[in-house]
Amino acid sequence: MTDQTNNSKATRQDWMGLLARAPESALMPLWDKYEGRPNFEWLRSPEVGGVMVRGRTGGTGARFNLGEMTVTRCSLVLHDGTVGHGYVQGRSKPKAQAAALIDALMQTSAAGAVHDQVIAPLKGQMQTDRTDRASKAAATKVEFFTMVRGEDT
Amino acid sequence: MYVAVKGGETAIENAHAWLAEERRGATDIDELSIAQIREQLGLAVNRVMAEGSLYDPDLATLAIKQSRGDLIEAIFLIRAYRTTLPRFGYSNPVKTGEMACDRRISATFKDAPGGQVLGPTFDYTHRLLDFKLAAEGEVPAALTAQPRTEATPHITEFLKGEDIIQDEPASDTTPGDLTREPMEFPSNRPLRLQSLTRGDEGFVLGMAYSTQRGYARNHAFVGELRIGKVGVEMDIPELGFAIDIGEIELTECETVNQFKGSKTEPPQFTRGYGLVFGQSERKSIAMALVDRALRWEELGEDNLGAPAQDEEFVLSHADNIQATGFLEHIKLPHYVDFQSELELVRKLRREAEERITPKEAAE
């Protein structure tokens, strides 16, 4: 695999992961504002299912099945033949459809516009939420100080 | 024996209509919204997700509303829903070492890198009822400090160099899945952990407590407890690579247990492991203690005959939906069964009386 395809794989992993993790309430208003939605045909219309989440014993050891989570997936093709896949957490079919369309558009000449209007602001919002929680956690970090008791002989 | 009996349709319909009315409560009080339950009763939602074995906060919330707050009933609803979902696949193991920690404490290492981060905890509260909560009011904002941006490594990583704590070597053996095949005994650690993480919190807590009180005591310390979000990654066949398919909140507990060594293992610290959906601290500590107790055989320890060492006992009774199903079915009509029992007892009584009566007549 060339560096370039590695790179494009990594960036696609990036945006697909972002779309999967994004709360519907954060993604949809951005997507609703985006103009220039393409026509498409379904390859697989949105379907709700479960994924068994795995962990490892002791965090690093043997794999075990932890429990399931809900996931909605779909696949579609734009009229120029670009295929988009949506795999998103939860049970929202509109969110899965938006994710698949964004995935397809990100592979076309519309990528720049979609990135600027949807991906970048979404990433920013999610990073802000994450930093907010990390900042609150940091304020609860224990600062130890030592008290000396008794006489030093 | 089961005999079909018809009847009671109207009574059942009317009972359910009354249930709906009772669920709603007094109509001059505002109805609870799903969002209110999800946001304000989050730990109940977490418990339903953990024991329902399905991570979906909105569904767990709906189940709590529908069950009038009966959490086992809510878990039952989630388990029933879960069976209707097609299984898309299995995720890659979650990387808890990369967790964005809201809370991370250790009872054994004061100065662990990353520090002792308390998070939104009930610990150190006075457990006095706060009557201010009975009145509506503004909540002061939580304070903030410079956030940590790097990942917080597991504490056991720091002990590994010394070879003084038992290692958990990675293995990619496909684990058994008790949602696919029924549990068989003897089982193995991956299956035990799957069973414990969805087990009833009260039951797992009771079992863990029994080990602390001396029934197979294993001298546990909480080496590390962490709560936070981790990404869930899955290989997507149509893409040919893995992507994050979501993010879930988890509670992870690793116990460090004193161990004098056995016929097969040198003296070292051993470990118990708990990993549970959501912020579920009590459950994950309890799970780690029970996990450790159940490892007696692999560590070459003696079987002391303690309940927490008996995997068949623990795993067969940990599931509150199985337990509820069997327990509560005895309240359903058993008229024919009981009729035959009644006949039998009457017959035995008659025979007993007949044995006594002739004697009395002879005297």
pLDDT at A153 over 60: no
For B76-97, what is each residue's pLDDT tens digit? 999 999 999 999 999 999 999 9
More confident residue, B51 or B265: B51
Residue B87: both structure tokens together: 């299984």
Q: Residue A138: which of B49, B148, B277 has the nearest Cβ?
A: B148
Which backbone phi and psi does B53 adopt, to 5 degrees? 60, 35
Q: Is B184 helix (H, G, I), strand (E, B) or coil?
A: coil
> Sorting pLDDT into bands at 50, 70 and 90, what band is B359?
low
- Torsion, CA A102, CA A104, CA A109, CA A115, rounded to 10: 30
- State the CB neighbour count (10 A cutoff) for residue B81: 17
pLDDT averaged over every residue in chain B:
92
CB contact under 8 A, B102 and A63: no
pLDDT at B177: 96
Residues A81-95, mean pLDDT to the nearest whole number: 97
Report yes or no on A24 lying in a domain. yes
Cross-chain residue pair B175–A64, CB shorter than 8 Å:
yes
What residues of chain A lie within 8 A of the CB of B246, using their CB? 20-21, 69, 71, 88-90
- The shortest C-alpha distance from B143 to chain A (Å) reads 6
Q: Would the CB atoms of A58 and B119 count as touching at under 8 Å?
A: no
Which of A17, A54, A67 faces B243 most closely, judged by CB atoms? A17
Residue B156 has pLDDT above 90, yes or no: no
A151 found inside a domain: no
Contact between B144 and A13 using a beta-carbon 8 Å cutoff: no
Q: What is the mean pLDDT of residues A16-42?
A: 96
In a domain, A37, yes or no: yes
Within a domain: A93: yes
Give B108's DSSP letter. Answer: S
Residue A75: closest CA among A46, A102, A50: A46
Q: Per-residue pLDDT for B40 more than 80? A: yes
Give tens-digit pLDDT for A117-129. 999 999 999 999 9
Of A1-10, B80-89, B99-108, least confident by mean pLDDT is A1-10
The total number of structural domains in chain A stands at 1
Lowest mean pLDDT among B188-197, B273-282, B298-307: B298-307
Answer yes or no: is pLDDT of A86 > 80: yes
Instruction: State how far residue B32 is from chain A, nearest Cα, in angstroms.
Output: 20
Looking at CA atoms only, how far is residue B95 from chain A in angstroms? 7
Task: Give the up-direction half-sphere exposure of residue B227: CA atoms within 13 A in the CB hemisphere.
Answer: 21
CB contacts under 8 A, A 89-108 vs B, are 89-91
What pLDDT is attached to residue B332?
A: 87
Amino acid B5: pLDDT: 64
Q: Closest CB to B93: pick one of A13, A55, A141.
A: A55
Confidence of residue A1 (pLDDT cuts 50, 70, 90): very low
How far apart CA A90 and CA A110 sit, in angstroms, is 27
Task: Look at residue A97 in the predicted model and tell me its pLDDT.
Answer: 98
Domain containing residue A79:
3-136
Tell me if B232 and A51 make a contact (CB, 8 A cut-off): yes
> Does the residue A25 lie in any domain?
yes
